[in-house]
Structure 1
Amino acid sequence: MRTRPTLTWTPPAGLPPGTTDPRPVADALRRGGVLVLSGAGISTESGIPDYRGEGGSLTRHTPMTYQDFVGDPRARRRYWARGHLGWRTFGRARPNAGHRAVAAFGRHGLLSGVITQNVDGLHQAAGSDGVVELHGGLDRVVCLGCGAVSARAELARRLEEANPGFAPVPAATNPDGDTDLTDEQVGDFRVLPCERCGGILKPDVVFFGENVPPDRVEHCRRLVREARSLLVLGSSLTVMSGLRFVRQTAEAGKPVLIVNRDPTRGDTYAETRVALPLGETLGGVAERLGVPLD
């Protein structure tokens, strides 16, 4: 029997409380060498929901797992039908003040790098360079047969042609690019194979139940080793893919700072958690440091 990954986390009693004082974040950035680790919460102000915050998608939606996608053609049909609509929403999303602040901090030499758990490409759209996409990017598609990587926009064009008139209204869009559709709305949506080998196409993202490529993990570990501190932005750190870097930073005796309105699984490792909205907080920090966002 397949087991689904743990998607929820309940904060235990005794976690250190959050603060509304962003000065420790400003102080860390002023010293430089800050490695940013961002999660879905930084993109909510761009209209992309998060997983676990108030009204988060996990309250109504279980993300697609790698095992289901590979092993069940009906699951693939549902995913691609829903994801085809979700891609339209992601394509319209624009960077918000949080993304622009991270890009500005990078331009002013305050960051040592950016790791994102998001698949929306908004850090890059805001102007951040060298972003490590821990879970991949929705703007690419990979063939599970021959390994060819192609542009999601091209597949979207092919899917439009193969499914003329497909325009159901989804109940919601989720952080992984999936949307909420009923089986009736999915209907007989046509899934397309790889043009090169006829293999199964998959978005170039790490599904739940799938491992982050080891070389990518090691690259992130190296970034942690080289950084002076770690700044977590908008992540609950529920899954180990991000939490491991928080633990590594703390074990090395370096500061961990978190900006997230809700408690996180990494709070016990952090010097502070600023419980304020990200755009407002990072914009205020940028102003305090004299860093223009544009």
Structure 2
Amino acid sequence: MPGDVQALRDFVTAHPRLFVLTGAGCSTGSGIPDYRDDEGAWKRRPPIQYRTFMDDTVARRRYWARGMIGWRMFGHVAPNAAHRALATLEGQGRYSLLVTQNVDGLHEAAGTRDVVDLHGRMDRVVCTQCGHLLPRQQMQEWLESANPGWLHLHAEDAPDGDADLEGEDFSRFEVPPCPVCGGILKPDVVFFGETVPPDRVERAYAALAQSGAVLVVGSSLMVYSGYRFVAAASRAGLPIAAVNLGRTRADAMLTLKVEQSCADALSALVATLD
């Protein structure tokens, strides 16, 4: 057994009540690009800010045009071996709660039952005025129906259902309003500049308080919304392990770091626990 896998196995078996936090590296094996490089720096322009989305009509049209193209891939992604391994670990009773920074819903699709989607879910759309919820696939059908002249366009896939569509006159793109009140529709996710709903944070902290150690899977922890739980665990003296390719914001806090792909490391781990 490779040393990293043995060390990860020892960590998991020594701490039977884990708090698990996952990030984009967990889903790259499903074909979803990530935002950051191995040093934790942005690979591309940062995501749209909430106020820009709400206040700038052309920016909002650009967002939905790119999203219409990106959903062709993102709407059909499937869990990979990392998601399946984590579902297996939950079934074995090895962790109390999985908190994910991802918005792809792949942990649930893999069979994990107890998940806090910290930043929401991309497969839902919400009205910013009345709170009406609808499936993202329904929004996709509306967008395609309203913009038939855009259906032939293709672009490179980008993180979280985005696509690198540029050079178009986005002012021509039609975005349907809320069917209930006419308000602005947005994905049911936490944009940069928004606050994570307090109930999600409270539930995560409550689980952390009952946990004996933390396992970080595929996150550089550069975003505070996830990093805060690792920082709290460190202050409480909890052991922290991370499976991540490249630097994390919490490297100095880690008890163990496994620099392998999440799918490879977790699949190998689960195989040792059979």
TM-score normalised to structure 2 length: 0.94
SS of residue paired to 2:225 = helix
Does the C-alpha gap of structure 1 residues 71 and 187 become closer, same or farther in structure 2, counting only changes over 3 Å?
closer
Partner of 1:238: 222
1:186 is displaced (CA, Å) by: 4.1
Amino acid at match of 1:22: V
Partner of 1:85: 69
Partner of 2:12: 29
1:169 counterpart (145, 154, 160): 154
Indicate conservation of the 8 Å contact 2:38/2:247, yes or no. no
- Unaligned ranges ≥5, structure 2: none
2:255 counterpart (271, 279, 284): 271
Q: Does structure 1 residue 114 correspond to structure 2 residue 108?
A: no
2:238 counterpart (238, 245, 254): 254
SS of residue paired to 2:195 = coil
1:141 counterpart (125, 133, 145): 125
1:60 is displaced (CA, Å) by: 2.7
In structure 2, distance between residues paired with 1:46 and 1:91 = 12
1:222 counterpart (206, 218, 238): 206
In structure 2, distance between residues paired with 1:54 and 1:192 = 39
- Unaligned ranges ≥5, structure 1: 1-18
Instruction: Give the count of matched residue pairs.
Output: 271
Amino acid at match of 2:32: I
TM-score normalised to structure 1 length: 0.87
Q: Percentage identity across aligned positions?
A: 48
In structure 2, distance between residues paired with 1:57 and 1:97 = 26
Indicate conservation of the 8 Å contact 1:121/1:137, yes or no. yes
In the TM superposition, what whole-angstrom CA distance separates every residue of 1:57-115 from its partner, at most 9, and x where no partner exists? 93233211101101100110000011111122112211111011001101111111100
Q: Does structure 1 residue 160 correspond to structure 2 residue 124?
A: no
SS of residue paired to 2:157 = coil
Q: Does structure 1 residue 127 correspond to structure 2 residue 104?
A: no
1:48 counterpart (32, 36, 57): 32
Q: Does structure 1 residue 70 correspond to structure 2 residue 54?
A: yes
1:151 counterpart (135, 154, 157): 135
Indicate conservation of the 8 Å contact 1:82/1:186, yes or no. no
SS of residue paired to 2:25 = helix
Q: Aligned runs of 1:14-25 on 2, under 5 Å? A: 21-25=4-8
Q: Does structure 1 residue 94 correspond to structure 2 residue 81?
A: no
Does the C-alpha gap of structure 1 residues 208 and 20 become closer, same or farther in structure 2, counting only changes over 3 Å?
farther
Does the C-alpha gap of structure 1 residues 33 and 162 become closer, same or farther in structure 2, counting only changes over 3 Å?
same
1:187 is displaced (CA, Å) by: 6.1
In structure 1, distance between residues paired with 2:140 and 2:182 = 17
1:174 is displaced (CA, Å) by: 2.2
SS of residue paired to 1:58 = coil
In the TM superposition, what whole-angstrom CA distance separates every residue of 1:19-78 from its partner, at most 9, and x where no partner exists? 961333222322421121000011111100111135999323321110110110011000
Partner of 2:178: 194
SS of residue paired to 2:148 = coil
In structure 1, distance between residues paired with 2:18 and 2:8 = 10
Partner of 2:269: 285
SS of residue paired to 1:248 = helix
In structure 2, distance between residues paired with 1:22 and 1:209 = 38
Indicate conservation of the 8 Å contact 2:40/2:220, yes or no. no
Partner of 1:59: 43
